[in-house]
Amino acid sequence: MRRDPHLRTARFSYCAADECHGFRATSRREVTQCGGTQGLPACYLEHTTLPRGLRTKAREARTLIVSKFYQLPVAAAIAALFAAPASAEDKEPWRYRVGAGAQVKPQYPGADDVSVLPMFDIDRTRGDEPFEFEAADDSFGFNLVNSGGFEFGPAVSLVGKRKSKEVGTATPNVDRIIEVGAFANYWLGENFRLHSEVRRGVTGHEGWEVDGGADVVWRDGDKWLVSLGPRVTWADHKFHDAYFSVTPATSLATGLPVYEANGGLESYGATASGELALTQRWGLSLYAKYERLTGDAADSPIVRQYGSRDQFSGGLALSYTFGR
């Protein structure tokens, strides 16, 4: 390798700089041991007999390297500042699915006629994640907790009002009842869900009602979904008294025997539902439910003479997905 002719003429006097440790550099090999800029010791730039032009360029190189060294932390901080918003923007965008349709349900608990009611649903998910499964007979609610297969949140439900003309005799009217409570789900894997709800009437009877059930779910993402599962309902004395008891005054007005309905198991049955994607945006959903009244609810004279132990529900809705 060709030597730098300037190095051959380099001579140092004694240097007291810390990085030189006070030794005299007299050759290229010794010069590199001092660890200065680009193989040159820091003292070399001060004591060498290099030509003026080369000394100037060497000083500029040292200044540039030191400047770049101190700029690195600043550059790193700026990069981190802009990286944080970028990572938030990397999250998949929300997709929303809105469904609307019609359903038929018993006019009131124990009725033998049905009412046509609106049916609607709103769901959301991120990116290509499938929409979460919700059974058609779940109360309105949303997750406050969703971790490890456990879901928990508020639940709101409406119970149909009963008018004497709908019963066919002079029974007391029962206003529509709003029930408020909570639900809990637990998923055993991806295809089996345990579901429960506890609600209390905040208008009307002010009694308690508890629903329990399970669902087996088969699906291919959002392309199609089929579910099937058993259902059971329990209610306390206040709830049953509002719909199934016959007071002495009602007995005189209707001719029905006096009857007091106590709390207990109200019904058992099953629910089936299905979803089908018609296009990337449009979809179809439907459900069917059967319940059989039991216990004091089934034995009520109102049910036996003017109602039915068999309770049927069903609905059909069209949905549209917004987003990507």
Domains of the chain: 5-89 (no CATH), 94-322 (2.40.160.40)
**Sorting pLDDT into bands at 50, 70 and 90, what band is 269?**
very high
- Mean pLDDT in residue range 76-83: 44
Residue 247, pLDDT score: 95
Does 35 have pLDDT greater than 60?
A: no
CA–CA separation, 2 and 253 (whole Å): 123
DSSP 101-143: EEEEEESSTT-SSEEEEEEEEEEEEETTPPPPP--TTSPEE--
Over 90: is that where the pLDDT of 275 sits?
Answer: yes
pLDDT at residue 53, as a whole number: 54
> What is the C-alpha separation between 166 and 176, in angstroms, rounded?
14
Calculate mean pLDDT across residues 267-279.
Answer: 98
Q: And the tokens for 86? A: 């970028």
**Mean of pLDDT values over 202-216:** 94
Q: Say which residue, 60 or 288, is predicted with more confidence.
A: 288
Least confident of 164-173, 180-189, 261-270: 164-173
What pLDDT, in 10s, does the model give residues 92-141? 899 999 999 999 999 999 999 999 999 999 999 999 999 999 999 999 99
**Range scoring the smallest mean pLDDT among 61-65, 192-196, 224-228:** 61-65
Confidence of residue 90 (pLDDT cuts 50, 70, 90): low
Average pLDDT, the chain: 81
Mean pLDDT calculated for residue range 63-71 = 44
The rounded distance, in Å, linking the Cα atoms of 22 and 242 is 103
Residue 79 pLDDT exceeds 80: no
Distances (CA, A) of 75 to 60, 71, 85, 86: 22, 6, 17, 17
Residue 29, pLDDT > 90, answer no
- Higher-confidence position of 60 and 93: 93
Q: Which long-range contacts (CB under 8 A, 24 or more apart) does 193-198 make?
A: 193/133, 193/217, 193/229, 195/135, 195/138, 197/138, 197/139, 197/155, 197/157, 198/155
For the stretch 245-260, pLDDT in tens is 999 999 999 999 999 9
Residue closest to 111 by CA, chosen among 160, 39, 63, 59: 160
- Looking at per-residue pLDDT, the higher value among 293 and 26 belongs to 293
pLDDT at 27: 42
Of 28-32, 47-51, 224-228, the one with minimum mean pLDDT is 28-32
Query: Distance between CA 284 and CA 125 in Å, rounded?
Result: 18
Model confidence at 59, pLDDT cuts 50, 70, 90, reads low
Type of residue numbered 301: P
Residue 201's pLDDT is 94
Residue 72 pLDDT class (50, 70, 90 cuts): very low
What are residue 119's DSSP bridge partners?
Answer: 101
What per-residue string of b and e applies to 181-197 under the rule 16 or more CB within 10 Å gives b? bebebebeeeeebbbbb
